[in-house]
Structure 1
């Protein structure tokens, strides 16, 4: 525990120190009131941030505290990330013969302007209706009767401290306009309990499909009453694929829709919750094609071993805020898009429809995905 606390302190200090140094120190020679004001703001934010995170995302679940903490995290991450290329700009200016304080002031203003612009744009991207991403996916075992099956994927809605009930309703309308045969929610519905987020999640009940609406848990459900979310989704008319499957049929051909709990379920302490692919496929005919919904892309290792035809996942958010996708790639095999794993298995990883935590999306646009399944 002490080691974790020390690591957290070091990371936080680094996140806040580099932007402060870039903007207000590093030989900028700003007037003293400017430096003092900037220093006080950064110091106050650094000291308040851990407490606000605990109040917002701990047992109290204060939405007001969470909004401030999450926004602070996004702002400081963007300023930190762009302070790094700011150091390269400093080097270029130095080679070009630009001396201090002009050199350091140019870097400070550039980082501030780029950061502010990206944050404004990123907020708009986070709050907008997700773009529709269309992909054809050929499944060699898919029968001709199911050729053209339209699968709409929603993932990572993350209903949370920023009230997005209106956004949720617009997402449902957009899904319904796509005239889906199957709708999948690939997990991470919300940050909070079903009681807290019921109003924001309610529009999920208005989504329509011809054959099935299926849902699996994500890792965030296991921090906020996973079984309650399963019960709520059943009440909204969804098939909850809690390590189980359903079979859909069209034109005389059949497709297995299977789902597993998130990979974090086993450590949640909830009885009967764990990712269990054998249980999800129990009783299926081995020759039928299988579409598996599993929240995390890295579950594709198990899917490929079992000969799954297509896995649908979310979780990564496409990185959400550049350059975070490099860190995501350390944990997951894919950040976004369609990929192949083994001889048979394909994986589609959605960037997600909402956002987690900081209300920003920078170079990682949200999406509602329309996958059109094609037979060989």
Structure 2
């Protein structure tokens, strides 16, 4: 009897694994298969082109899982990560535009327009080449500043005009962006911020490997405070080490707590919560806890909450928070991925209202994760100018 029960449990445990593998295999087949069909097979190229093109796609499809495993496994190799991430970005762009080209070809076929295989293939290849080159430039440049005025009715006149810079998703990772980080810090300081808030996803990798990239964050100056919260990527690695390191660089960790800043006789509650995934990290005491973050805050004071994910705004709305600032979405990073992000998050980018009092600002982020590309989703340094009601 016990053996029968154990076999049943084993079968139940294996089902999610097989389902996951099936989903991954299906996704890889589509990701590589549709561009292969659109660019190589359907145009009716001569046999040598067909053979070479098929060989290239087959090699890329076979290498991709291995590169991702080597690059993002426990002892990730930066070289493999750079290659695998770049391949992922290129294939996503090719997939998206192959799909559009196939749909366009099908629609024109309904009207009797045929023989477009090679035209579609060349058009997809040309558009993808331009977008990949442009996307790489957009990803690697120092972000432009996006300035937004946010009116907060409960904000006192002494704090009117307070300049809050929001950074998010710097994702220091396999590509050495130390010069980029230096430029980012200089750009933030030129804005003359009163407060700087990092909304999480600081880095991918250990402090030992990303120390030089993160170092310029210590040069950022904000007289009313530099604060940060954890993002989901902190919990993929050495969260506690990164928390300690940013503290050494002069940042305050808003670990389910708040501080009160004052100017001109008026005060603002600056609160922060852990990422929504923190509870599952296994780290003692970690997990988003907004009541704890606001405990002891004086009633009637305006509240600015830093929370990594926009979907944490539901708790903020229930608690009467005035403004939540978040990141996480990257604005979609590579079009049309933002449609998938929107399924999971209430906002992809920009300022939105949630309920009678609560506003949410979602930054597109300063860096990128994975593919070093940004297509129709530019990075940003967010400058929020708070206006009193």
Q: TM-score range by the shorter chain?
A: over 0.9
Match of 2:92 in 1: 77
Match of 2:249 in 1: 236
Q: Give CA deviations for 1:253-297 in whole Å, capped at 9, x if unaligned.
A: 110110001000000011111001111111111111110000000
Match of 1:358 in 2: 371
Matches of 1:324 and 1:37 in 2, distance apart?
Answer: 30
How far does residue 244 in structure 1 lie from its aligned partner after superposition? 1.0
Match of 1:14 in 2: 30
- Alignment pair present for 1:94 and 2:115: no
- Alignment pair present for 1:253 and 2:269: no
Matches of 1:291 and 1:56 in 2, distance apart?
Answer: 37
How far does residue 88 in structure 1 lie from its aligned partner after superposition? 2.9
Query: For 1:43, what is the secondary structure of its paired residue?
Result: helix
How far does residue 96 in structure 1 lie from its aligned partner after superposition? 6.1
* Match among 144, 150, 170 for residue 137 of structure 1: 150
- Alignment pair present for 1:32 and 2:47: yes
Matches of 2:340 and 2:110 in 1, distance apart?
Answer: 32
TM normalised by structure 2 equals 0.94
Query: For 1:196, what is the secondary structure of its paired residue?
Result: helix
Q: How does 1:149-164 map to 2 (within 5 A)?
A: 149-164=162-177
Q: How does 1:203-218 map to 2 (within 5 A)?
A: 203-218=216-231
Match of 2:39 in 1: 23
Query: For 1:242, what is the secondary structure of its paired residue?
Result: coil
| Farther-moved stretch of structure 1 (348-357 vs 91-100) | 91-100
Query: For 2:151, what is the secondary structure of its paired residue?
Result: strand
Q: How does 1:36-75 map to 2 (within 5 A)?
A: 36-75=51-90
Mind listing any 5+ residue stretches in structure 2 that lack a counterpart?
1-16
Q: How does 1:313-352 map to 2 (within 5 A)?
A: 313-352=326-365
How far does residue 236 in structure 1 lie from its aligned partner after superposition? 0.2
* Moved segments of 4+, more than 6 Å: none
Match of 2:14 in 1: none
Matches of 1:8 and 1:336 in 2, distance apart?
Answer: 28
- Compute the RMSD of aligned alpha carbons: 1.0
- Alignment pair present for 1:166 and 2:182: no
Q: Give CA deviations for 1:117-139 in whole Å, capped at 9, x if unaligned.
A: 10000000001111110011011
How far does residue 98 in structure 1 lie from its aligned partner after superposition? 4.6
Matches of 2:285 and 2:36 in 1, distance apart?
Answer: 48
- Alignment pair present for 1:374 and 2:387: yes
Matches of 2:109 and 2:321 in 1, distance apart?
Answer: 56
How far does residue 93 in structure 1 lie from its aligned partner after superposition? 4.5
